[in-house]
Amino acid sequence: MKNSKALVVFSGGQDSTTCLFWALEKFKEVEVVTFNYNQRHSLEIDCAKNIANELGVKHHILDMALLNQLAPSALTREDIEVKDGEEGELPSSFVPGRNLVFLTFAGILASQIGAKHIVTGVCETDFSGYPDCRDIFVKSLNVTLNLSMDSQFVIHTPLMWINKAETWELADKLGALDFVREKTLTCYNGIIADGCGECPACKLRQNGLDEYLKIRKEF
Ligand code: ZN
């Protein structure tokens, strides 16, 4: 796939940055897209910008304020606390339809820039229960995008079946472990790199890293 172009859905977090490194190795040309939906931390956009700059990839930032207006969640409102869902419930960070909208707009942008491949870091394994992160949803949307634009897009989800420790392992194999560790923002409290250590995103990220570093030492 060296002779083709990919668009990576990119938030500046651990997962999408790992996907960006994955895409850079796999495709000849790579561009990234970040969605601005007035997320709690505009720092997320700055962080994404810095990473794209440093890696020399073209960065598209699309305004998605409408999503904020339609779907208040812990990611878009200061007054909603980030917390895990009670049994059977989605966490307060769930934004209904977010990946549906993001991947659809990514498809439109991909068609504009002549990219056949769309890469997203969604994952079922460390799954917070978001229905639009499931493999079946991505496959379904892939078919819909192709039918809607009479295109042959391929949506790639390199993290779909791996856990956080394996995502760190993938970053390491791509020579990007330190980069991802030091320059990405996953924390719900807007603290770059190792984060606040307290929020669900930090805990997931840190537990995965600890697990991976332990395995790495043993070899
Ligand atoms: Zn945090």
Q: How far is the CA of 112 from the centre of ligand 1 (A)?
A: 36
- The CA distance from 60 to 3, in Å, is 21
| Residue-level pLDDT at 185 | 95
Q: How far is the CA of 204 from the centre of ligand 1 (A)?
A: 10
| Residue-level pLDDT at 51 | 98
Q: How far is the CA of 200 from the centre of ligand 1 (A)?
A: 7
Q: How far is the CA of 202 from the centre of ligand 1 (A)?
A: 4
Q: How far is the CA of 209 from the centre of ligand 1 (A)?
A: 14
All residue ranges of the chain with pLDDT < 50 are: none
| Residue-level pLDDT at 68 | 75
Q: How far is the CA of 21 from the centre of ligand 1 (A)?
A: 23
Question: 57-100: per-residue pLDDT in tens?
Answer: 999 999 988 877 776 665 555 666 655 655 666 665 667 888 99
| Residue-level pLDDT at 124 | 87
Q: How far is the CA of 211 from the centre of ligand 1 (A)?
A: 18
- The CA distance from 157 to 36, in Å, is 21
Which conformational region is residue 195 in: left (phi greater than 0), alpha (psi within -120 to 50 degrees), or beta?
A: left
Question: 206-216: per-residue pLDDT in tens?
Answer: 999 999 999 98
Q: How far is the CA of 137 from the centre of ligand 1 (A)?
A: 28
Phi and psi for 124 in degrees, rounded to 5?
A: -90, -15
